[in-house]
Structure 1
Amino acid sequence: MPHTPEPDDGLDSTAPPPPVFHVEQALLGALLLDPHRADDVSGIAADSFSTAAHAALYNAIITLPRPDPAAHARSTEWLDRVLATAREQTRGLTAAYVHALVQVCPWPSHARAYARMVEAEHARRRLRTAAGRLVRTVRDPSLPHPVPTALTEADALAAVVDDIAHRFPPRAGVLPRTTTPPPVAREHAEAGEEEQLLLAAATAYPTGIDSVRWLLADDFTVPLHAGLWHCLTALARRQEPVDPVTVLWEAQQRGLLDNGSEPGEVLRMLAEPAGSIEHWSEHVLERSLLDVAEHTGQRIEAYAGDPANTPFQLVIGARRALVDIAAVRTRWQHATGATPPQRRRPAPTTRAGPPTTRAAHAARATGATR
């Protein structure tokens, strides 16, 4: 079995390299052996590679003038120039590694297929990075206006999904089989109190409930509070009297007190209004939006972290997940009157031409690009 060369670029030598590492080696070996094949490779750039050494070598290969094929077959002059150019970015490269890449390439004629694999893995990394940024943004306690910032990151994530869909048009709707994490019931320091104040305000001023129809019971973090909101909206819809006692009775009819909730505590909570329904409803909805955004980012991170998922599956799974943000975002815009400009989908940044596979061409021809 041939030895797999590994560049000295600071990687942990104890961890076995992932499959894409070997794919990158095969692609680089093909291009080093037959430099003219770089003209047939599209959809990737230097940052598409998983290591700095491979990125530097690819950048050198595509920037240096092509050697004469006959001269290249007899001399290592062009390989030496590639090595010298790559060393300007990654000093750990050796001539032995460059020559070993040529030896480990199975079929130089498969360079285009290797490039497609590198492109697919780069798409996975891009998606995972964008989803991670969304999750970190939601969790950042220092942001003065977390919702607009989180929505900006959600738009950036959606743009990455769109670009991947352009490169890998989705096939028949095969969802990722990855097990995604369930929504995390995080304890918010102020959520419970704000929800209680909202319920009390709605009990005291039930005519205002109709003005916050964009608020749903699912937006509450405490199950009892969500159930009481159901009670309040039901009583208001039926135009029945609303006060702490009638809400408590409705809660009993719905089985909300079966979990041990004390009737007296419920009455006291509903009898202490402070502030307006609209004010506290917006607070509850904003927190719900952030929770949905965090869970969406976690789902997409899980999809992108599973190497068994194809780019087609990643696109479908990510778009399904982003629907949840879109739904709560629409309600948030209704609540706050915020209507940001519609997101423009950017054109691909590195692909110079149309998708490189026949399947992709066929998908574009039938309009199945989403």
Structure 2
Amino acid sequence: MGENLSKIMSEIKKGVAEIIDEERIENLVKNYYEKGENFYVKAGFDPTAPDLHLGHSVVLQKMAFLQKHGAIVQFLIGDFTGQIGDPSGKSATRKKLDANTVKKNAKTYEEQVFKILDPSKTRIMFNSKWCNELGAAGIVELTSTFPVARMLERDDFEKRLNAGSPISISEFLYPLLQGYDSVAMKCDIEMGGTDQKFNLLMGRTLQRVYNIGKEQAVIMMPLLEGLDGVNKMSKSLGNYIGVTDAPNDMFAKTLSISDDLMWRWYELLSEKSTEEIANLKADVASGKAHPKAVKEALALEITARYNGEAAAKEAKAEFDRVHSQNQIPTEIAEFELKAGVWVVEALTACGLASSNSQARRDIAANAVSINQKKLSDEQLKLEAGEYILQVGKRKFAKLKVT
């Protein structure tokens, strides 16, 4: 299976930031095809927010690919560690989540993850099972396995220490407990983002310390840039696409990314092979294919993955109808205001502008239309009647003035 193994390994490495112990991964795949032995891949998610977005899917899609080649995915919901909070990249101690919030968020993750992973090859696990069993004696024993000096070498801890910012003892426990998850789960590979490197290596360290007979390989995926093309995809920054987003939103948001970012998304989000993506790049470079058509194909693929092919095609048709033919969407939010309302306040009330000052800037930029006619008079008062308000190409509202 030499040639096939080489091709599988090439796809496993597609988009990966770093692999530790690639030879082990190759042997695990080889053993699956030669001996029928499954191997176990772990990724942990602290249920601190109830919605998965495409940034999370980078790791999940790589796990889904591994499932096709022998992996049993151990999807770990950190219901215990989630109450501590991962300090990775944080400049201050995180607030603890209460148990009810953790439980509610964990349930949402459990439901959403099967939009990507094969349920028959996935085990949903909760680390409260073994963390609660550790008890005080087990926790003390765990803390004795790793020196404080090594813990303080961690970049974010070192920065906070030098800045005089407080670090709680519980935050030292977090990487130890994440590493202990790998001991309890006896996983062969752990996956995570590049910001998780310290925690992922802790799993290898503790598997050796507890002598479980294996040492996990590590696959680190890069952090996906969001819609702005600059910052990592994040709900708090508003530059994300959620896996539960409506098809129309998912399609339109994907089309809004830059041509440069499109290739990054192809690499990290598309199921097309490395070779197929290279061919697409060559076609665009030679003028054989237009970047917009290639981006539409990506938008269709992503939208279909989470909403089905029929919904993806409908989203494309709706987008074309509204944007290419400059028509009004079939479904838009409806509002009702009193006669004489100032158009600036109307735009804000209908959610088309975040503030009156933003609405005025939009009018000044010639980005506002009423009934498909550009608006230039920011002092306009709307009398009784029905209006279609529009800001830019994608924001619409139906307003009834009485």
> Would you say same fold, with TM above 0.5?
no
The one of the two structures with greater contact order (alpha-carbon pairs below 8 A, sep at least 6) is 1
Larger radius of gyration: 1
TM-score by length of 2: 0.23
TM-score by length of 1: 0.24
